[in-house]
């Protein structure tokens, strides 16, 4: 026969052991708040070269003030490439990286971008209308880059189309690399700023800078820290202008 008294006692033990209304739960582990990311992140680009004052270049001909289309007065920012070092050299894994350049006030109306490969063969050329106010411009470079190769780029402000030696220009190097498969997988579920951090950790300047530039209105502190980390803090407040669509 069933011993009902014994069974009821056993059921009572089970109820006591499982009912949250009668007993307390085991204490939960404390939350690791470091895993929660704020809207902004601290993004400092790794050191990839000399980070002194931005490199300034100009045309090979006369440089007198009366022939220059860009003011050389003290206190006016020069033509500057938004790059992580004075050599204006950086890596990308993008098939269409975006190059950013700061253009000061100029009387010039036309600009030009040229890219050549390691054999000095032209692989891209574009000419476009410049904005009428100073600021940053973005140029998309749709080039069939090959992994493991470097390409030289030049951004010209055409002061006088009759005398191209009066051009003002900045130049640098793009190194195209393959994206690490682990990073590629992490990018699939990352937020925009997390993507920028992943790219920065991989020293992929073009990708990291482009994301932060596009979201700088929502993330001004991240934008400022990125520019500070590469010595471009003087351009934090410069507007990004619509520009540089290739002429048909």
pLDDT in tens, 192-224: 999 999 999 999 999 999 999 999 999 999 999
Is residue 147 classed exposed, middle or buried when 0-12, 13-18 and 19+ CB atoms within 10 A define those classes?
Answer: exposed
Helix, strand, or coil (residue 20) = coil
- Give the angle 146-149-155 at the CA atoms, nearest 5°: 95
Tokens of residue 142, six digits: 């749709």
State how far the alpha carbon of 131 is from the alpha carbons of 29, 69, 83, 103, 227, in Å.
57, 14, 21, 9, 23
Note the pLDDT of residue 57: 53
Residue 150, pLDDT above cutoff 70: yes
Per residue in 91-110, pLDDT (tens digit) is 999 999 999 999 999 999 99
Which residues sit opposite 91 in a β-bridge? 175
Nearest to 179 by CA among 187, 170, 189, 171: 187
SS (HEC) of 102-145: EECCECCCEEEEEEECCCCCEEEEEEEECCCCCEEEEEECCCCC
Note the pLDDT of residue 49: 75
DSSP conformational letter for 112: E
Q: What mean pLDDT value characterizes the chain?
A: 82
Residue 29, pLDDT above cutoff 90: no
- In this structure, are residues 76 and 104 in contact, taking their beta carbons and an 8 Å threshold? yes
If you search the block for the tokens 């600009």, which residue do you land on? 111
Q: Model pTM greater than 0.95?
A: no
Per residue in 38-49, pLDDT (tens digit) is 467 779 999 887
d(CA 119, CA 99): 22
């Amino acid at each position: 026969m069933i011993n009902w008294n014994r069974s009821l006692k056993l059921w009572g033990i089970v109820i006591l052991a499982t009912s949250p209304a009668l007993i307390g739960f085991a204490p939960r582990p404390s939350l690791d708040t470091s895993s929660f990311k704020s809207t902004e992140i601290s993004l400092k680009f790794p050191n990839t070269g000399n980070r002194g004052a931005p490199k300034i270049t100009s045309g090979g001909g006369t440089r007198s003030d009366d022939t220059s289309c860009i003011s050389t007065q003290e206190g006016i920012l020069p033509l500057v490439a938004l790059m992580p070092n004075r050599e204006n050299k950086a890596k990308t894994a993008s098939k269409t990286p975006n190059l950013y350049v700061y253009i000061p006030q100029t009387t010039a109306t036309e600009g030009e971008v040229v890219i050549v490969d390691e054999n000095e063969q032209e692989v891209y050329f574009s000419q476009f209308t410049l904005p009428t106010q100073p600021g940053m411009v973005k140029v998309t470079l749709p080039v069939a880059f090959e992994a493991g190769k470097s390409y030289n780029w030049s951004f010209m402000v055409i002061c006088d189309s009759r005398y191209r030696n009066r051009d003002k220009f900045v130049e640098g190097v793009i190194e195209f690399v393959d994206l690490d498969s682990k990073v590629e997988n992490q990018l699939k579920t990352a937020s925009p700023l997390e993507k920028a951090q992943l790219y920065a950790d991989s020293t992929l300047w073009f990708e990291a800078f482009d994301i932060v530039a596009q979201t700088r209105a929502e993330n001004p502190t991240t934008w400022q820290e990125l520019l500070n980390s590469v010595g471009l803090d003087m351009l934090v407040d410069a507007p990004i202008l619509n520009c540089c669509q290739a002429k048909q």
